[in-house]
């Protein structure tokens, strides 16, 4: 089977029986936006790096471990594994999905980097509300927002908040879960003019 991936239409020629053994997606009758013709499939919205990992797993039964990679390669590999998860979610390959998300998590940890809004938005655009990767990503964003040593705040994720109400809800719930039983200060108990509009240091004349 000829498969073309990404905007560059990178080409693979693979055994159709092997593909169909792992997922019904590659049957000629498969539904979806991808172009299916006799012996040909186009996955033009997918990342060729992700499909290359899928091919490696199909023929070798495993993908590389990010822990064995040099530091300057870890984040790129983690990003590719994130794309692999999205691909496997689309074509229904749960076993490889689990491997991909584990390598993604490990790669983020070892590289000391996390996905930004540009990487997060496509995840929420293409996955279902109960997807495990949504849970992971929203918890990462919540931790970045709450971390006093992080340069990220809620505004960092404006793109994602504007694009997905689900993301906003997931992040707020993750913050609530992460803070445990700690209750915020009650703003209705404040005294003075904290919520008035006037210049700093001006005498507040509201009684």
Q: DSSP for 11-28?
A: EEE--HHHHHHH-GGGST
pLDDT per residue as tens digits for the range 161-205: 999 999 999 999 999 998 887 888 888 887 667 788 877 766 677
pLDDT per residue as tens digits for the range 115-173: 999 999 999 999 999 999 999 999 999 999 999 999 999 999 999 999 999 999 999 99
Per the listing, tokens 């092997």 go with: 18
Instruction: Please name the residue ranges forming H helices in 4-131.
Output: 16-22, 48-60, 71-91, 94-111, 117-126
Closest alpha carbon to 117 in 163, 77, 174 = 163
Provide, rounded to the nearest whole percent, the portion of the chain with pLDDT above 70. 91
Computed over every residue of the chain, the mean pLDDT equals 90
Other Cβ atoms within 10 Å of 23 Cβ, number: 17
**198 CB-contact burial (10 Å; exposed 0-12 / middle 13-18 / buried 19+):** exposed
Residue 72 pLDDT level (bands cut at 50, 70, 90): very high
Tokens of 111: 């590289």
Closest alpha carbon to 133 in 159, 175, 166, 165 = 166
pTM (predicted TM-score): 0.87
Residue 36 confidence (pLDDT): 57
Residue 89 half-sphere exposure toward CB, CA atoms < 13 A: 22
């Amino acid at each position: 089977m000829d498969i073309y991936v990404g905007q560059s239409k990178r080409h693979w020629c693979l055994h159709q029986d092997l593909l169909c053994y792992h997922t019904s997606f590659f049957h000629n009758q498969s539904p979806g936006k991808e172009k299916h013709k006799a012996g040909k499939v186009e996955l033009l919205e997918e990342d060729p790096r992700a499909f290359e990992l899928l091919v490696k797993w199909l023929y070798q039964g495993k993908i590389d471990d990010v822990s064995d990679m040099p530091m300057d390669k870890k984040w790129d590999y983690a990003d590719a594994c994130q794309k692999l998860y999205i691909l496997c979610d689309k074509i229904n390959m749960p076993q490889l999905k689990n491997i991909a998300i584990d390598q993604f998590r490990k790669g983020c940890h070892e590289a000391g980097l996390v996905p930004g809004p540009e990487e997060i938005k496509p995840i929420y655009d293409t996955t279902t509300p109960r997807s495990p990767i949504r849970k992971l990503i929203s918890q990462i964003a919540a931790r970045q927002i709450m971390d006093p040593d992080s340069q990220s705040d809620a505004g960092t994720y404006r793109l994602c908040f504007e694009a997905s109400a689900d993301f906003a809800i997931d992040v707020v719930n993750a913050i609530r879960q992460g803070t445990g039983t700690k209750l915020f200060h009650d703003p209705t108990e404040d005294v003075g003019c904290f919520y008035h509009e006037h210049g700093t240091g001006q005498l507040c004349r509201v009684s």
